[in-house]
Copies of this chain bind each other. A is one copy, B any other.
């Protein structure tokens, strides 16, 4: 609420013209393991536009694949529509993470990507990127690794969906968000969830009512403290205990 409003302002200040060498996310984003002048070359092909507002699309399913994207600030959800027109969320992306890699197979995005809050993204035109990758083996390797990471994340989620009940799924989800916040240098103990209860339910294969009930249950047993989208982890070990495994 008040806090999240403040955060948005900060995000907007830091956005737009910061290049890769100055970006505070350099250590977790695409450029890891590149030499300084290679980072410069990468930076040269990256396009940065004005921030995207909540609910705006970065790309839509079916559009021609042109670029992959790095998230600089905000949050993104990626989703497909099922045959019968239902939304299925396939992932949430936080700052420093890459999205759009689903578009490569068929030269068209298979997901749509929308901003969950005001977000700035770095667009990486793929044809340029591909060319650069052939010249920079470490960039090629890095991208292979990122795609592989996406695969193992998805497989981890499959495992959670197949084996774990509602509480375990949500605990795993919270731990995943916490870990990814920490990676960005933010708190793993308290944070704002960028997505709605309904988005969480959609992602985890639960109804919104079940998500809500689990949150109150975890709150009442003093494992987490919740206030709308604000989450504070009070008893990390207990949360790990109920989760068993982590998703994404």
Tell me, in angstroms, the Cα distance from A137 to B137 when the chains sit together: 12
A157, closest chain B residue (CB): B158
Contacts A91-B155, A151-B151, A151-B154 known; 7 new A-B pairs at CB < 8 A: A82-B163, A101-B147, A102-B155, A104-B145, A105-B151, A105-B152, A130-B141
A246, closest chain B residue (CB): B83
Across chains A and B, which 6 residue pairs bring their CB atoms closest together, nearest first?
A104-B148, A162-B205, A154-B154, A147-B147, A88-B159, A105-B148
Tell me, in angstroms, the Cα distance from A148 to B103 when the chains sit together: 7
Give the number of chain A interface residues (Cβ < 8 Å).
46
From B82, B110, B111, B137, contact of A130 by CB (8 A): B137
A244 within 8 A of B: yes
- Taking the nearest CB of chain B, how far is it from the CB of A154, in angstroms? 4
Judged by DSSP, the binding face of A is helix
Contact at A144–B82, with CB atoms within 8 Å?
no
A21 within 8 A of B: no
Chain A positions 130-146 with a Cβ under 8 Å from a chain B Cβ: 130-131, 133-135, 137, 140-141, 143-145
From B134, B155, B204, contact of A134 by CB (8 A): B134
Contact at B102–A152, with CB atoms within 8 Å?
yes
From B84, B101, B137, B163, contact of A88 by CB (8 A): B163
A149 within 8 A of B: yes
Q: Which residues of B contact A4 (CB under 8 A)?
A: none
How does the 8 Å CB contact mask read for A168-201 relative to B, with 1 for contact and 0 for none? 0000000000000000000000000000000000
Task: Take A102-B148, A102-B151 as given contacts and tell me if A83 and B162 are in contact as well, using a CB distance cutoff of 8 Å.
Answer: no
Contact at B154–A110, with CB atoms within 8 Å?
no
A90 within 8 A of B: yes
A111, closest chain B residue (CB): B155
- Taking the nearest CB of chain B, how far is it from the CB of A123, in angstroms? 17
Tell me, in angstroms, the Cα distance from A105 to B161 when the chains sit together: 22
A19 within 8 A of B: no
Chain A positions 94-120 with a Cβ under 8 Å from a chain B Cβ: 101-105, 110-111
